[in-house]
Homo-oligomer: A and B are copies of this chain.
């Protein structure tokens, strides 16, 4: 289907170290952040959804917009929204301009919970990630994320 073993361009030591480092870092930091957020009864995914909604006009967005912003797929988001709605943190209503779709809105309770959680979460992101990096490294992360997750996807 693709290439066979002989003509595979294997990763160099540097490439391998960077790639494995990324996987390891992500696993560790998300574990930490989830543990911290659970104090506010939120997961990192919950937080992401609520933040994006809270920044939208009227606190509303289409699911597919949310999915693109978060980099997750529609099925996962749909289940997630169902859970958030069951908890009263978001509501769904039919989209007036596209009858295939919906609008998701953050509720007052959702905003309240987000506001309560934000200081602790931001502090944890700073301590575990941001404040460990130089401005140059931060800039690199942004560049990398754009190079990797923007174009043909």
**A residues lining the B interface (CB < 8 Å):** 1-5, 8-11, 14-15, 17-19, 21-29, 31-32, 39, 44, 48, 69-73, 115, 118-120, 122-123, 125-126, 128-130, 132-133, 135-149, 153
Contact = CB atoms under 8 A, between A and B. Distances in A.
- In the complex, which of the residues A1, A5, A24, A72 has the most CB atoms of chain B within 10 Å of its own CB atom? A24
Contacts of A125: 11, 19
Contacts of A147: 132-133, 137
Which residue of A10, A14, A22 has the most chain B CB atoms within 10 A of its CB atom?
A: A22
B145 A18 contact: yes
How many copies, total? 2
A24 B140 contact: no
A11 B121 CA distance: 11
Contact of A39 (B1, B137, B144): B1
A71 B140 contact: no
15 contacts: A5-B119, A8-B118, A11-B126, A14-B135, A14-B139, A14-B142, A18-B142, A23-B44, A25-B145, A26-B71, A128-B148, A133-B147, A137-B143, A137-B147, A140-B141
Query: Which of A21, A48, A147 lies at the interface centre, i.e. has the most chain B CB atoms within 10 A of its CB?
Result: A21
A146 B17 CA distance: 10
Contacts of A128: 148
Nearest to A10: B122
